Amino acid sequence: MTSRELRQKYLDFFKEKEHAIIPSAPVVPENDPTVLFTTAGMHPLVPFLMGEKHPKGKRLANVQKCVRTVDIDEVGDNRHLTFFEMLGNWSLGDYFKREAIEWSFEFITSEKWLGLDPRRLYVTVFEGDEDAVRDEESIRIWQEQFAKVGIKAEAAGEDRIVNYEKRIIPLGKDDNWWGPAGKTGPCGPCTEMFYDVSPELGKVNDTFGSLVKNFRLMEIWNDVFMEFNKKADATFEKMKQQNVDTGMGLERTLVVLTGKDNVFDTEFFQPIIRRIEELSAKNYSEDESKISMRIVSDHLKAATFMIADGVLPSNVERGYVLRRLIRRAVRQGKILGIEGNFTSKIAEVVISEYKEVYPELGRETEKIIEALNQEEMKFRQTLEKGLKKIKEIIAESRSAEKISGEKAFHLFSTYGFPLELTKEIAREHGIAVDEESYHEHFKKHQELSRTVSAGMFKGGLADAGESAARLHTATHLLLAALRKVLGDHVIQKGSNITGERLRLDFSHEKKMTPEEIQKTEGLVNEAISKDIPVKCEEMTLEDAQKMGAMGVFGEKYGDKVKVYSIFDFSSEICGGPHADATGALGNFRIKKEEASSAGVRRIKAVLE
Ligand code: SER
């Protein structure tokens, strides 16, 4: 079966079940500021899941293009992708569990449709907790489906051992509850379908967790029974209408239909990988090239779709995710030994493969090629600077006989050098790299990023940490600039940073004039344009005060404090993290200046 046939079969099946077919929404959500990308088919439909009438009726089906960056570090294994397509059918207050499960089973197993083997099918259901009961109804409906084809299907016990008889696995909220994590909106228990991709390994008999981790079971479809609304206080209320939201992964389903065991061996990736082979003169079948080629093909496919839907590389929000994807791809290209610009050449293959299904790729070809070329050129210049830096580092590290983990990490975070590249160059110069210490630095950095991005929606900005670090540095510059423009009475009264903007509350009596705002912006942008390094020193609180570092009034500090200084412009006691240098910030703009409370003003600003 081809991808085209699979999309068509799915839509035809649900047309027979009286569903109206609706087009894919863009990967950039149109009316949902809480997410950066459309990570699932539900985003464009949220108002209708909440009760608004959809012009096409109560039963809908579609193929939705999605971008999900939450699994970005997993890309390269057999099934995780940044860009994928989701086949979905929707009930907006119409049918519920019975029809949804019956139709899923029929579509997967009936000879007329996918004709997959029901003996290789395993399903999970919600095990119940204080918010909602165990989903006995779904268990029963699944048992009836399996019974129709002579299969006895029991629910697995607490040990989660799965075998031929126990193929229904009850799991908790982490696995079997779908909906907006950490924010409000429609959600509910779900039931997921997994297919055994390696029956040649003998009878299934292991814990569910191991079977998934070892890639024996591949998730292909998720039916969500959305009957709750998660409220701001994290409680769940029953919604007026019961909805169904299903999502079947197009790429993964083609994997099981074509008897493969990974998404990269399907037609969704093979033409792209062939082109990477040509450009790199390496073979995909060689283990050391495989992962890099998978990452390049996934990331550049996602980048192509993102640019077509209006995203351009930048230092914030969506543009920043795009930038990271392109840069990661360029680095992997370097590891593969590809010389010269190549990202747009890969995009050309993506465009030609997908433009009939997604005509926007054809329409935006010029923009896609140009944006990729520009970003790649810029990044290659940074890499060149990194090459100079690594030569210096090698010279300094001679006596220690190895490059320290800290220096190797600096090459990664500032010049985009992956460890493999640093190791390779070091090897050529007969010197080692302290990998253990590198990984420690890397982990510390990741933990910071995670903490900062913890509040964000699942599937959102994987690198929110770095974006927040830049906004944090911008906050220091802003406070320093305000003191220059308005006077020394200005001190920080509060600060709040999201992945997208900063908010600073500061003491000042009057509304700022347009000239004052302009002057403040100008000072900050001047400091940014000078690309001043952000220096961090540890010292006693006393020393910090002696050097005139600003501290937040009323804050308790330990014996030693960190002082972040930006040359003579700003120095503040602060926990970080910050950008390495102001040049990473981009253009600073004040979006709003308003009263916060008596004698306190509030500024909201962004980096563009
Ligand atoms: N929203 C669910 C998912 O993404 C089903 O479409 O898995």
Tens-place pLDDT, residues 268-327: 999 999 999 999 999 999 988 999 999 999 999 999 999 999 999 987 778 888 988 998
pLDDT (tens digit per residue) in 330-371 = 989 988 999 899 999 999 999 999 999 999 999 999 999 999
Instruction: Compute the distance from residue 422 Cα to the ligand 1 centre, in Å.
Output: 40
* For the CA of 247, the nearest atom of ligand 1: 6
Instruction: Compute the distance from residue 108 Cα to the ligand 1 centre, in Å.
Output: 17
pLDDT for 568 equals 77
**Ligand 1 atom 4 nearest Cα:** 40
Same domain, 563 and 481: yes
pLDDT for 453 equals 39
**Residue 577 preceded by cis peptide, ω within 30:** yes
* For the CA of 179, the nearest atom of ligand 1: 1
pLDDT for 180 equals 63
Statement: residue 573 has pLDDT above 50: yes
The answer to whether residue 265 is domain-embedded is no
pLDDT for 455 equals 35
pLDDT (tens digit per residue) in 150-199 = 999 999 999 999 999 999 999 999 999 997 644 678 899 999 999 999 99
| Tokens 């009034």 found at | 553
The answer to whether residue 460 is domain-embedded is no
Of the candidate ranges 83-92, 250-259, 505-514, 533-542, the one whose mean pLDDT is the lowest: 533-542
pLDDT for 427 equals 87
The answer to whether residue 461 is domain-embedded is no
Same domain, 126 and 238: yes
* For the CA of 86, the nearest atom of ligand 1: 6
The answer for 498, left when phi > 0, alpha when psi is -120 to 50, beta otherwise, is beta
Instruction: Compute the distance from residue 112 Cα to the ligand 1 centre, in Å.
Output: 25
Same domain, 359 and 445: yes
- Alpha helices of 431-463 — where are they, by DSSP H? 435-453
The answer to whether residue 464 is domain-embedded is no
* CA–CA gap between residue 15 and residue 480 (Å, rounded): 62
Q: What is the CA radius of gyration of the chain?
A: 27
Same domain, 384 and 303: yes
Instruction: Compute the distance from residue 40 Cα to the ligand 1 centre, in Å.
Output: 6
Query: 56 φ, ψ to 5°?
Result: -90, 0
pLDDT for 557 equals 61
SS (H, E, C) 253-315: HHHHHCCCCCHHHCCCCHHHHHHHHHHHCCCCCCHHHHHHHHHHHHHHHHHHHHHHCCCCCCC
Q: Tell which one of 64, 85, 86, 244 to mutate to probe ligand 1, the residue whose CB is within 8 A of the most ligand atoms.
A: 86
Q: Tell which one of 35, 224, 228, 253 to mutate to probe ligand 1, the residue whose CB is within 8 A of the most ligand atoms.
A: 224
Same domain, 386 and 503: no
Q: Tell which one of 80, 222, 248, 253 to mutate to probe ligand 1, the residue whose CB is within 8 A of the most ligand atoms.
A: 222
Same domain, 162 and 300: no
Statement: residue 146 has pLDDT above 70: yes
Instruction: Compute the distance from residue 315 Cα to the ligand 1 centre, in Å.
Output: 29
The CATH number assigned to the domain holding 189 equals 3.30.930.10
Same domain, 417 and 477: no
- pLDDT level of residue 583 (50, 70, 90 thresholds): confident
Instruction: Compute the distance from residue 498 Cα to the ligand 1 centre, in Å.
Output: 26
Q: Tell which one of 35, 80, 89, 178 to mutate to probe ligand 1, the residue whose CB is within 8 A of the most ligand atoms.
A: 178
* CA–CA gap between residue 35 and residue 224 (Å, rounded): 20
In the Cβ-directed half-sphere of 586, how many Cα atoms lie within 13 Å?
A: 18
Q: Tell which one of 60, 177, 190, 226 to mutate to probe ligand 1, the residue whose CB is within 8 A of the most ligand atoms.
A: 190
**Ligand 1 atom 3 nearest Cα:** 247
Instruction: Tell me what the mean pLDDT of segment 579-595 comes to.
Output: 89
Instruction: Tell me what the mean pLDDT of segment 136-143 comes to.
Output: 98
pLDDT for 31 equals 62
- CB of 330 within 8 A of CB of 299? no
* CA–CA gap between residue 573 and residue 497 (Å, rounded): 17
**Ligand 1 atom 6 nearest Cα:** 247
The CATH number assigned to the domain holding 491 equals 3.30.980.10
Same domain, 118 and 197: yes
Instruction: Compute the distance from residue 178 Cα to the ligand 1 centre, in Å.
Output: 7
The answer to whether residue 209 is domain-embedded is yes
The answer to whether residue 459 is domain-embedded is no
Which protein residues are within 6 Å of ligand 1, measured from CB? 40-42, 88, 178, 222, 224, 245-247
* For the CA of 224, the nearest atom of ligand 1: 5
pLDDT (tens digit per residue) in 195-251 = 999 999 999 999 999 999 999 999 999 999 999 998 878 888 999 899 999 999 999
Instruction: Compute the distance from residue 342 Cα to the ligand 1 centre, in Å.
Output: 34
* For the CA of 39, the nearest atom of ligand 1: 4
Q: Across the chain, what does the average pLDDT equal?
A: 89
Strands, E assignment, 38-184: 59-67, 83-92, 121-126, 154-155, 161-163, 166-171, 177-178
Same domain, 286 and 242: no
DSSP strand pairing (535-540 vs 560-566): antiparallel
Instruction: Compute the distance from residue 41 Cα to the ligand 1 centre, in Å.
Output: 7
pTM here? Answer: 0.71
Residue 66 burial (10 A CB sphere; 0-12, 13-18, 19+)? buried
- CB of 267 within 8 A of CB of 6? no
Percentage with pLDDT > 90 across the chain: 62
Domain hosting 136: range is: 3-259
pLDDT for 434 equals 95
Final residue before a domain boundary, out of 259, 283, 311 = 259
Same domain, 158 and 104: yes
pLDDT for 454 equals 36
Final residue before a domain boundary, out of 454, 482, 497 = 454
pLDDT for 456 equals 35
Instruction: Compute the distance from residue 299 Cα to the ligand 1 centre, in Å.
Output: 21
Statement: residue 465 has pLDDT above 50: yes
Same domain, 158 and 29: yes
pLDDT for 452 equals 39
The answer to whether residue 463 is domain-embedded is no
**Ligand 1 atom 2 nearest Cα:** 247
* CA–CA gap between residue 473 and residue 109 (Å, rounded): 56
If one counts the domains in the chain, the total is 3
The answer to whether residue 514 is domain-embedded is yes
- CB of 317 within 8 A of CB of 100? no
Top-confidence residue, 417 or 587: 587
Instruction: Compute the distance from residue 221 Cα to the ligand 1 centre, in Å.
Output: 8
* For the CA of 66, the nearest atom of ligand 1: 4
- Amino acid letter for position 206: D
* For the CA of 40, the nearest atom of ligand 1: 4
Final residue before a domain boundary, out of 238, 259, 280 = 259
Same domain, 329 and 227: no
Instruction: Compute the distance from residue 57 Cα to the ligand 1 centre, in Å.
Output: 20
Instruction: Compute the distance from residue 188 Cα to the ligand 1 centre, in Å.
Output: 11
* For the CA of 41, the nearest atom of ligand 1: 6
* For the CA of 88, the nearest atom of ligand 1: 6
* For the CA of 223, the nearest atom of ligand 1: 5
